Amino acid sequence: MIETERLLLRPWRETDRNPFWSMAQDSEVMRYLPSMDRADSDDIINRMAVTQSEHGYCFWPMELKTEGRFIGFCGLMPPHEPFAEVEIGWRLERAAWFKGYAREAAQACLSWAWQELGVNSVIAVTVPDNERSRGLMLRLGMTHDAAEDFDNPNVAAGDPLRRLVLYRIKRPDD
């Protein structure tokens, strides 16, 4: 469990399934993400829970402390094809945008990665047009090298979600 001034990042619960599915039905939230049906939505939660139990971390549900309400997720994923480094990721319901919640959660996740995982870098990826996500990467101090942009091998050629930009942040000096 990670606590920040306004947020709690905690393990997934059964009660997260409906609000997570609600986010998946918001076309603005999903604009740069693959569309999914209810089974896909539930499957993601199942897989997150497995990742949590196998690795001790995952993309964690994010709760507003004052309301005890699920507003999205932010967290870390172990290295997985085609990535060789730990990845940070986020998705918030639209009503929770523009309040600094994503940044607050992501900064806490990065601190956790440096302290608990001992990794030397963390990456984030998104499609080139996802300006809000790229803006957050920059606000976190992540940097982008266009030479590292790549095509996701798990996405079909011609799909607009195939091309990805990669941002990285290095472990701060102690």
Ligand X SMILES: CC(C)(COP(=O)(O)OP(=O)(O)OC[C@H]1O[C@@H](n2cnc3c(N)ncnc32)[C@H](O)[C@@H]1OP(=O)(O)O)[C@@H](O)C(=O)NCCC(=O)NCCS
Q: Which residues bind ligand X (CB under 6 A)?
A: 29, 32-33, 90-92, 97-103, 126, 130, 132-133, 135-136, 139
Q: What is the DSSP string of 145-167?
A: -GGG-EE-TTS-TT-TTSEEEEE
Select the residue whose beta carbon is closest to ligand X and give its number: 100
Which is nearer to ligand X, 37 or 53 (by Cβ)?
A: 37
* Least distance from ligand X to the Cβ atom of residue 174, Å: 26
Contacts of 47 (CB under 8 A, 6+ apart): none
The dihedral formed by the CA atoms of 54, 57, 59 and 64, expressed in degrees to the nearest 10: 130
* Least distance from ligand X to the Cβ atom of residue 118, Å: 25
C-beta separation of 34 from 85 below 8 A = no
* Least distance from ligand X to the Cβ atom of residue 38, Å: 19
Which is nearer to ligand X, 51 or 133 (by Cβ)?
A: 133
Shortest CA distance to 125 belongs to which of 74, 154, 163?
163
Which is nearer to ligand X, 51 or 126 (by Cβ)?
A: 126
